[in-house]
Amino acid sequence: MDVEISSLATDITPEETIEVVYREELDWIEDKVTKGLSVLVECDKQLTTYLYRALRKRIKQSASSKSCLLISGHAQPEGMSMPQSRMQRIITELQNAIFSATDEQIITLPHLDVLTTTTRSGLNMETREAAALLFENPDATFLAFKDPSFELPKVIEKVFTVRRSIIGIAREKLPHIILQSEARKLGETHFNPFRLYKYLSGLNALRCREILSHLQGRLDYDERSPELLSALYTEIRQMTLVADVELPNVDLDKDIGGYAEVKTQIKREILDLLHSRESLSDPQEVKQLEELIPKGLIFHGPPGTGKTFFCKAMATALDATIIIVSGPELKSKWVGESEENLRRVFAQARRAAPAIIVFDELDSFASARGTYTGSGVEHSMVNQMLTEMDGFRQEELVFVVGTTNFMSSLDPALLRPGRFELNIHIPYPTEDDRFAILDLYREKFKLELSDEQVKTMARQTGGLVEANKATRYSGDHLYAIMRSLKREVLRNSQDYVIDDDLINKVINVRAPKATKLTDHERRVIAIHESGHAICAYFLPNCATIEEVNVAMDSTQRLGYLATASREHRYVTTKAELLDDICVFLGGRLAEKLVLGEVSTGAYDDLQRANEIARSMVEELGMGVKLGLRTFVSHQSGQAVLGGQRQGLAEETARELDQEIALIISEQEARTWALLESQRAHLDRLVDHLIEHGHCNLEMIKKLFKN
């Protein structure tokens, strides 16, 4: 991929730059207008004058008898008593040109976008007048220019038979506009121009020349001073930034704790491939490698797990800008404006390439078709997004990342190969991840915490933040905890000792007010949670216990049992479902065994146990008598658990209820027998919870060994 510096040009004019870089585009436009087709050219405003001059010169030198008639509004019309504005003069020139147009004239409108700028409430006066004029002569041939930043009314776009976008610069054209004096800043006798390309790919050729000309005053390349070359590329990167973009500084390994699997996937699928590309010398190999790199990604997972933060780390590794847009903010009630917002975002990213566009809350407008509840603009936005993604050059480094909490709700069209084909799950952090995250913030905030304290905090945050909402601790929660510890230190003194009581206080501070329990209430809750824990610990098909907790005075949660996710998350067996029912029944039956009566605390447990039994019989074909039949209907037509029971014959409904009752009664007996056989362990765990309030898996193992 290296180019010999002596083979480069020593000087190049703007006109020559346009001809070298956009020769194919100019040929195409010339061919269409000389055949009588009206052409709309979308390009940066900076290019308009030079493209027009190049086309006018070509048409004049061709065998065609065509000529260009420029509508610029420069001259003040003769005989006018009152001076006209520039827009009024353009309208006057356009009117005269259309009514006197011949087949040999190509009416050129370099400022069509400015003339026909719309307002949200409709078309302005000049636009209405221009729209009427453009349709007056159906035989007229138009050549018009539009900047990507401007929106054209649909009625104006219909005037043009064909449209050509000139955005960015093709990679193979870049060496032709780099001068020898500029290249010597990047290499001694040879240099790789394609290292520059990732920063210049989205810029027009004239803007590229402006940036390259800034290299003239720099020192020539010296292999003994590699830092000068690095600083030069950094300066070029800064010059290519545009407004409303961010150049993040987040190191994937140093600034993000834990999540080794996620980091490995990002490196393996994208970063390593891109870094290996720079070492290739065969253009064909480079092209093949670029076809392998996914340009669309989905980061999905619960809120607060760092999906956007991973995007910033990925951008930092690529030296890329990042544009974060909110799905709901893109929507507009005005027809066509939502799609225009998307076009503007993509155009901005291409100018600032390498770039990553992050669509936060992608599901807000890209939900599965048939589930839209808005005006229907979502369907048009999805189509526009896919069109923009398909329009990238393969060599352009522009990635599109969608983040969502609801992966299953996304439109399947987005997940096809070639679009958002790489899906990366960012789950709640494991205990190892939590330790790494807490350790990172310990260093950042300079907190005097021992490794053992950090390990304890990682274990304590393995459960639920809000038991009634099944919310687990995420990276955001851990960040908030460490910030709270730092505030406590600052309120006291730098020598303030962080003890376990303070850590417990900070971890449980999310509760708005303390829950005051009587001794009897605490004992009932301890018995209830111990019943769950005994079943989860001794039954062979249950998920591993992380923590069992009983409310202390500083927390609002009455108690909970937290378990880890099963190793196989996507396949659940009948044996596992039956053990889950036992765990849910364990709390109520423990109360009955120890106290001789039950409380209202088992309400939710009973609901969930019965729901599992119902699904087994009515949806999963796991009943005994009714066999492999299903008895539910789904409004969405998708086979997801939780459908409504179909209208059934009375006898069939009775058999279903009997099957469900049989499963519940059998698991009740099984749970009771287990609790009776482990009564000593149950009592020991109850006493521990009453005294300490919580118990993790290691503590449970120690208790049960005694």
Spatial CA neighbour of 287 closest among 277, 295, 296, 279: 277
Position 525 scores a pLDDT of 92
The per-residue DSSP string of 411-426 comes to: -GGGGSTTSEEEEEE-
Does residue 552 register a pLDDT over 70? no
Does residue 652 register a pLDDT over 50? yes
Sign, CA torsion 382/388/391/396: negative
- CA trace torsion 636, 637, 641, 642 (10° rounding): 50
Spatial contact of 228 and 222, defined as CB atoms under 8 Å apart: yes
Which residue would you say has higher pLDDT here, 659 or 243? 659
Does residue 123 register a pLDDT over 50? yes
Q: Which residues, including other chains, have CB under 8 Å from residue 684's CB and lie 6 or more apart?
A: 703, 704, 706
C-alpha span between 263 and 249 (Å, rounded): 16
The strand ranges marked E within 147-225 are 162-166, 190-191
151, 339, 378, 529: which one is catalytic?
529
Question: Over the stretch 1-54, which tens digit does the pLDDT of each residue have?
Answer: 678 888 988 999 999 999 999 999 999 999 999 999 999 999 999 999 999 999
Measured CA to CA in angstroms, residue 99 lies from 38, 520, 616 at distances of 17, 96, 78
Which residue would you say has higher pLDDT here, 52 or 504? 52
C-alpha span between 350 and 399 (Å, rounded): 10
Position 640 scores a pLDDT of 52
C-alpha span between 26 and 53 (Å, rounded): 11
Measured CA to CA in angstroms, residue 246 lies from 8, 70, 79 at distances of 34, 40, 53
Which of 90-94, 196-200, 274-278, 439-443 is modeled with the greatest confidence?
439-443
Mean of the per-residue pLDDT values of the chain: 83
Spatial CA neighbour of 67 closest among 29, 22, 106: 106
C-alpha span between 307 and 310 (Å, rounded): 5
Question: Over the stretch 304-351, which tens digit does the pLDDT of each residue have?
Answer: 888 999 999 998 888 888 888 876 666 655 556 677 777 778 888 888
Residue 234, Cβ density class (10 Å: 0-12 exposed, 13-18 middle, ≥19 buried):
exposed
Q: Which residues, including other chains, have CB under 8 Å from residue 416's CB and lie 6 or more apart?
A: none
Question: Over the stretch 409-427, which tens digit does the pLDDT of each residue have?
Answer: 777 777 777 778 888 899 8
Query: In the chain, what are the helix, strand and coil shares in percent, each to the nearest 5?
Result: 50, 15, 35
Does residue 553 register a pLDDT over 70? no
- CA trace torsion 684, 685, 688, 690 (10° rounding): -110
Position 511 scores a pLDDT of 46
| Neighbouring-strand partners of residue 401 | 297, 358
pLDDT bracket for residue 470 (50, 70, 90): low
Is 529 part of the annotated catalytic residue set?
A: yes
Spatial CA neighbour of 482 closest among 511, 515, 445: 445
Spatial CA neighbour of 362 closest among 390, 389, 336: 389
Does residue 430 register a pLDDT over 50? yes
CA angle 207, 213, 219 (to 5 degrees): 145
C-alpha span between 22 and 170 (Å, rounded): 9
* Packed helices 45-61 and 205-213: angle between N→C axes, nearest 10 degrees: 120
Does residue 642 register a pLDDT over 70? no
Does residue 284 register a pLDDT over 60? yes
